[in-house]
Chains A and B, each alone.
Chain A
Amino acid sequence: MRRRVLWHVVCLALLAGLLYPVGWLVSASFKPAHEILSSLRLLPEQVIIGNYAEVFRGMAGVSVWRFLTNSMVVSVGSVIGNVVSCALAAYAFAWLRFRLRGLLFAFMIATIMLPIHVLLIPQYTIFHRMDMIDTFWPLVLPKILATDAFFVFLIVQFMRGLPRELGDAARIDGCGPVRTFAYVVLPLSKPALVTTAIFTFIWSWNDFLSQLIYLNTPENYTLPLALRLFIDQTSQTSYGAMMAMSVLTLVPIGLFFFAFQRLLVEGVSTTGLNG
């Protein structure tokens, strides 16, 4: 019993230190602008909710809900695309043998190494030629085509950790590679897939650069993009509203993470090994 209490105490103490900046952010969203920039105090001297009111008034005639919806569409599309395509590719790299495997795997890892800024213009040109600018396609299509080598690699590592006996058992039962994938490997890779889903959602949500470059009309803007519009340095900056909007941006992805991370709890079912 005491160990448990101690454990909780340690966790909470660590959290307190770690989340101090987050706490500061939330409290700043209730502060007036000049106080945000000049005072280091955690709690507001005057609590105002005007910042949130300003956010909900929307910008240039577009409501916050529209931005939220846009972000949802992009992120959910990305999750589905990524989980499916990366799982397929990872299975091939991890469990199947084919002649170009080593080379393609190395190439895949290499694709992570180039900084995005130099790929930006050629990729923009390609999407421009395909008439996809100002749509969500440039944001979702790469996910459908498994260009996120990070996740392919992640799932590969998980799949390689699964015992081969399972595959042998499946083969003896008459399963070919496809059915082995569907009935054996895929279910056992759930932690990896859930991780992929969670991270894809969050990273596509926060992917400022792609959203900036490919989305033009404010009606198509995503939430993080709209958020950055608050902080123009050459004209007036609504710091208070920016803090409020940051907090608001956190809420959907925070909820999403909290809801789905429970799926990570179900690990490898040990019955699979004996069955």
Chain B
Amino acid sequence: MRRRAVPRALALLAVGALLGVTAACGGGDDAGSTGGGPVTIRFDWWGNPDRAEVTEKAIDLFEQKNQNIKVETSYAEFNAYFQKLATQIAGGGAPDVLQMDYRYVREYADRGVLADLGSGASKVDTSGVTQQLLSGGTVKGKLYGIPPTQNTQVFSYDFAQWEKSGAAAPKDGWTWADLKAAAQKVSDSSGGKVRGIADLGGIEDWFEVWLRQQGKTLYSDDGTIAYTAADVARWWEMTDGMRRSGAATPAELTAKMDGSQANDPVTQKLASAGFGYDSGFTAKSWEIAGRELKLAPFPSDTGKLGQYAKPAMMFSISQASKQKEAAAKLVNFLINDLDAGKILGMSRGMPANAQVREAVGGTLTGPPQVGFQYEQTVGPKLEPAPPPPPKGAGTVKATFQRVYDDVIFQRTSIQQAADKFMSEAQKAITT
């Protein structure tokens, strides 16, 4: 009799404890007190220590100007940041102000996670920001993310090597054929050891620019795919052709590219040029690449540049935030305040607020200055950002790269690959 009573009693006790703990402690408030008194908000972002240092300085300034708001900060690297963010939101611990990526803003907005920045307690003043950028953070007419900085696509190349091998440098109005010829020259003159260009076929971002040059877009306004398998096939014919002729990197190198510098063929000195975003040119860029690079716009066969002002990132406010007004003040400060802008510099890219941009531009040197000058020259030709991509867009981009791997490893024909990609992409968008 005693033998049975003990395990049962223990079990009851444990269950009781479990219920008690979850019930009693639930419903406590997370972020600071309401009404009167100092208010605490949390601000999470992704980035590296350099960005963290200047951001903390800017936050200190904010706290000085707003004595009754305290800001708790936290940061991580990009992938870890989003994993942590998803966990926090799902578990009820979302930060008040968060840094958001263009790719994900729709996923988060559609699920009611982000606050409307155009009205109510979370309203932020966007009058000074480049208006073309705001469409990038607008979903179904409401603004969910404001870019503090803008950037655009860019072609970067090792001009010293190009000169040495007799390749024609890029100039205004150059074409894809020009690119191929130049890259070929570089590859040939180095005996294939250094390829002319890092293979661009698997990156959806460059495919998008090429599409836009023909007047098409990636997604239509209602969130469906706006191109066909034939488009994909034509693109892959061109890029795979460059691989076959030796102008672009071989499959083994291309398959390793994942956006990081460690796996970038240009950094590894195995390729002499590549496509990227101009916000990527920060103070250490030449040091890591081991040489200086020059910037140029995309080549185009149609006279249309196809590039657009892309939000590199955005600030958003969480819908669950209990201090929306304070959060909005912080976002306002980060985007529009001149002193903040000077402190933050180019750590997140080129400032989107015109006044801030003026103030910052004059202080730059080295790679960021080259990036800044590039933005100035190419700026007038840029189109407004397309609306945020629909749910599943991240999967489509990953699929695009994965299927292209099949192509360059010659496991499938280009037409087959294009069809396979289209069907997988459709599934990703609709489920």
Contact = CB atoms under 8 A, between A and B. Distances in A.
A33 B77 contact: no
B282 interface: yes
Interface of A: 32-35, 37-38, 59-61, 98-100, 120-121, 124-126, 128-131, 133, 212-213, 216-218, 228-239
A230 B49 contact: yes
B49 A61 contact: no
B74 A217 contact: yes
Contacts of B267: 34, 37-38
Size class of the B contact interface (CB-based, 8 Å): 35 or more
A60 B56 CA distance: 7
B22 A60 contact: no
A72 to B, nearest CB: 21
B105 to A, nearest CB: 15
A37 B90 contact: no
24 contacts: A33-B284, A35-B290, A38-B290, A59-B53, A60-B49, A60-B52, A99-B4, A121-B90, A129-B21, A130-B25, A212-B80, A212-B84, A213-B83, A213-B84, A228-B76, A228-B77, A229-B48, A230-B48, A233-B78, A235-B282, A236-B282, A236-B285, A237-B260, A239-B262
Nearest to B28: A131
Nearest to A35: B290
A272 B73 CA distance: 57
7 closest cross-chain pairs (CB), A and B: A34-B290, A124-B91, A232-B77, A60-B52, A59-B49, A216-B74, A232-B48
Contact of B48 (A38, A99, A124, A235): A235
B53 A235 contact: no
A51 to B, nearest CB: 12
Contact of A216 (B21, B42, B282): B42
A228 B262 contact: no
A34 B288 contact: yes
A125 B92 contact: yes
B365 interface: no
Contacts of B73: 60, 217-218
B103 to A, nearest CB: 11
A128 B80 contact: no
Nearest to A100: B7
Nearest to B74: A216
Contacts of B42: 216
Given A131-B28, A232-B46, A121 B75 contact: no
A125 B91 contact: yes
Contact of B7 (A33, A38, A61, A99): A99
Contact of B87 (A121, A129, A131): A121
B358 interface: no
A237 B288 contact: yes
Among A33, A37, A217, A239, find the residue whose CB has the most chain B CB atoms closer than 10 A.
A37
B64 interface: no
A231 B77 contact: yes
B283 interface: yes
A214 B259 CA distance: 27
Interface in B53-99: 53, 55-56, 72-80, 83-84, 87-88, 90-93
Nearest to B10: A100
A130 B30 CA distance: 11
Contacts of A232: 46-48, 51, 77-78
Contact of B83 (A35, A61, A212): A212
Contact of A235 (B44, B51, B88): B51
A216 B85 CA distance: 11
Given A233-B258, A234-B78, 12 more contacts: A129-B22, A212-B76, A213-B84, A213-B87, A218-B75, A228-B76, A229-B52, A232-B77, A233-B78, A233-B261, A235-B51, A236-B283
Given A100-B7, A129-B25, A239-B262, A121 B77 contact: no
Contacts of B268: 37-38
